């Protein structure tokens, strides 16, 4: 019985760690994308950081990618004509891969 409980505890711990890691990668990626976009349309560093933090929180609350991309396009689309959802999705995937590698190296 103890062996089974130990295995169960280990599995649950692994899933919890994986979920936590995925959440941290996702939140950092969303924030980095929002920061890059804000800087590309001319926000100062402090304005871009504030905007990125707000977008990250909204992306987490609204369940991520598509809602954040829609929010960025709605909010900044007027200022940045070259920003479209497909480009943002590609950039978010690239950022996600970068953040994953960075966090694995930590």
Q: Which residue has the higher pLDDT, 8 or 66?
A: 8
The pLDDT assigned to 102 comes to 94
Nearest to residue 96, comparing CAs of 24, 46, 4, 48? 24
This prediction has a pTM of 0.77
The pLDDT assigned to 103 comes to 92
> Which two structure tokens, joined as six digits, stand for 96?
């996600």
Give the domains, in start order, of the chain with CATH numbers.
2-105 (1.10.790)
Residue 6 Cα to chain centre, angstroms:
34
| pLDDT tens string 17-65 | 888 998 899 889 888 988 888 888 888 889 988 888 888 777 666 665 6
| Mean pLDDT, all residues of the chain | 82
CA distance 29 to 49: 13
Work out the widest C-alpha separation in the chain, in whole angstroms.
63
79 pLDDT above the threshold of 80: no
């Amino acid at each position: 019985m103890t062996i089974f409980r130990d295995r169960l505890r280990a599995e649950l711990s692994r899933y919890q760690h994986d979920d936590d890691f995925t959440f941290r990668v996702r939140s950092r990626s969303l924030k980095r994308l929002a920061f890059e976009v804000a800087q590309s349309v001319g926000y100062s560093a402090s304005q871009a950081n504030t905007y990125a933090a707000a977008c990250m929180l909204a992306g987490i609350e609204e369940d991520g990618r598509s809602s954040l991309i829609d929010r960025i396009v709605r909010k900044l689309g007027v200022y940045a004509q070259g920003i479209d959802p497909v480009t943002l999705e590609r950039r978010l995937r690239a950022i996600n891969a970068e953040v994953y590698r960075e966090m694995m190296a930590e």
